[in-house]
Structure 1
Amino acid sequence: MVAAVIDGGNLTDAFERLLARHPGWPDATRGAIRDLAWTTLREYGRGDAVLAHLVHSPPPVDIRALLLVALQRLWQKPEQAHTVVDQAVEAAVALMPGLKGMVNGVLRTALRQQGQWQTWIEADPAARHACPPWWLARVQATHPQDWQAVLEAGRQRPPMALRVNPRRSTVADVQAELEAAGASARVLENGALLLAQPRAVARLPGYAEGRVSVQDAGAQWAAQLLQAEAGMRVLDACAAPGGKTAHVLERADVDLLALELDPLRAGRIGRNLARLGLAATVKVADCRRLDSWWDGRPFERILADVPCSASGVVRRHPDIKWLRRDTDIAGFAAQQAEILDALWRTLAPGGTMLYVTCSVFDQENAGQIARFCARHTDAERLPIDGRTELQLLPNAEHDGFYFARLRKAP
């Protein structure tokens, strides 16, 4: 999986292909492999800085990935050094037998020089913060007071939060069920339940019965800020996998249309709604092409959770930092502007559009909304708790999200 990302591939796709080849693996094995790959990529910049001092020329991609994983394991479990090196050498025999000696030598040299690792990392700011130089510069520019906390959050394991389906249970009842099952959780300001420790979905009481869903606590602000009311016509324009769609429907009986460009991802919306006992109209369409899906009837609420850099959720998708390029951000911003302009035409006078990203970059967030309002004089920014917008930075409770509420003049 790490090799796939080095080669420019998607981490989640690589993991799913691996699982398809090994359907008999137990959950514990799947979880351990996933954790090691994800952690290695969260720390990729650091591991690569160490590796650069240990090899004279770049090794083949598979061997480089193996060494990075082994270095991460040595960092995490120094007491298992002998086992880690032996297992890495065995893996090298399976991958490239002729390089087993090189792998053995590099890792044994790494152990002898382990006291130098931190010095090598600290010498390079990008390595220290485990991100490409352009990413570091952009976060520093956007969040001059909080950039270190944002980057540090991107290196941590993400929290796990649950959303309670009020049609089938209550927060208090689910919290009691969790406690009885040995899973401690606390209630956050927006009603999300934050687990003290992540837990396999299959072991969550009430999940199969549709009483709870797994959803980041930051994401759970969207349905509340949208303020959809019973009887309203609502559009979720970029809906997959359906978490925010479901949350809107859990809160109010609305006539909801969910759009998704990818047919496979659109299928997940229907499955999620079925588990929760909810219903919506789901269409596969590009929300920018109104003639392919819009019947001309305006919406009173629009949720525009647009494609973005996903810079606020990199701890969940650590390949993002290494696959993105600085120039990609302008491309996302242009796509977002097209979506906003198209959807604005479908919003009823007096209606509200909620703009959402999981980004921490200004070009996709505050800058995007400022440009939109300059183009559309009939757009009024509605306050969120007395502010013109809500930027959540990733922390121990939630991922990074941006929200802006726009009202169309009557």
Structure 2
Amino acid sequence: MKKTNANILVIDDQEDILFAAKMLLKKHFETIFTLNNPKNVLRLLSENDIDVVLLDMNYRIGFEDGREGLYFLKEIKTLSPKTIVILMTAFGKVETAVEGLKNGAFDYVLKPWENEKLLQTVKLAVEESRKVKKKTDQNTLTDSFFIGQSNLIQKAYALGEKVAKTDANVLILGENGTGKFVMAQYIHQQSNRKNNVFVHVDLGSLNDNIFESELFGYAKGAFTDAKADTAGRFENAQNGTIFLDEIGNVPLHLQSKLLQVIQTKTVTRLGESKPRPLNVRIITATNLNLKEEVAQKNFREDLYYRINTMEITLPSLKERKEDKIPLAQFLLDKMIAKYNRNKIVYSERALEQMEKHAWNGNIREMENRIERAVILCDNNTISAADLDLDLVTIYESKDDLPLSDVEKNTIEKVLVKHGYNISKSAEELGLSRAALYRRMEKYNINPE
């Protein structure tokens, strides 16, 4: 029987599971990799073209909620979007696996598995991997960067391209959703390290108890669950780039440990005394004003200057209004490719509302609304209702008025414009007739 030319990776902390899976799969697929620790997956993915990952959802004793599996699912899809992930879970834990499907997993299998069912699932995943890679090759738009035409964003990306050629530490600032992660990826892909690993660490999600072990690694026996020597995120990023997101959220007492690694370019695993040399490009990001945090003694001044060799500030969508519609089209094309939909367009009303919308959540909010609209729209046109834009944020006010006054003024202007025709007014405002009547009652607006 001819084997399928595919690279399969199985990740599970139980050696008997790894052995059984390898024995089964190697009869049908060309190359089988196994890992007993998911923390090593980033380096393996950076060095090999993996088609399918079979990922267990629990690793630490006493933790069986599947959150670890969901976390590493996100890491795998971030580093290697074209890799297809199948989750492995015990019977009775299906709800968490279903959450994994919503977060990008292809399918799940129950342990103990049926051999034929597992093989069929992996074969389908390999076929999906082929389709994804072919589609990516044909449609480079999905993997490209949208920069835009506004002066502020052009300057930010020009600076990013310039600093990418160096190994200088970069601090990226900006509101939530302005694209700090995308900028970090852009710098990495423009750098001499582009063929090496890009490791993303959400520091805001690491609690104090696991901060050091996650970032710096640990030796076998360093603590109760330390069953084997394990590299941390810094070591996993060796020769590549590490992106420390939400660095402003690191507690003060842990900042000194981070500073030590950055200063010395070495890392010492928990339970060891010998430092290990690092060759890593460091990019950090935060939505906080770190200068103010330093002034208030919430952030170490020496750490601030260590991470801030070069500072790049990303503008909000309010500051780059000319990019709203082109960005919306870029994101729509991205979602059409993701969901394999036929050509979809925006209605004129939808475009008008997107231009007027405040987008307080910036690009992330826009992407979420567009993805939802692509899923919901019944025909090939996205309406204003599909985008579900809130009335208050659609109409921006130049005055510093409370939001309630902005909404009341907007409703009154639209009613006057249409001679208090409720149907026409409700349509322009993106409301149902009943919703408009409720707001008129709320603000004591009476038809003339």
Give the TM-score of the pair, scaled to structure 2: 0.24
Q: Which has the higher contact order (CA 8 A, sep 6+)?
A: 1
Give the TM-score of the pair, scaled to structure 1: 0.26
State which structure, 1 or 2, has the greater radius of gyration over its C-alpha atoms: 2
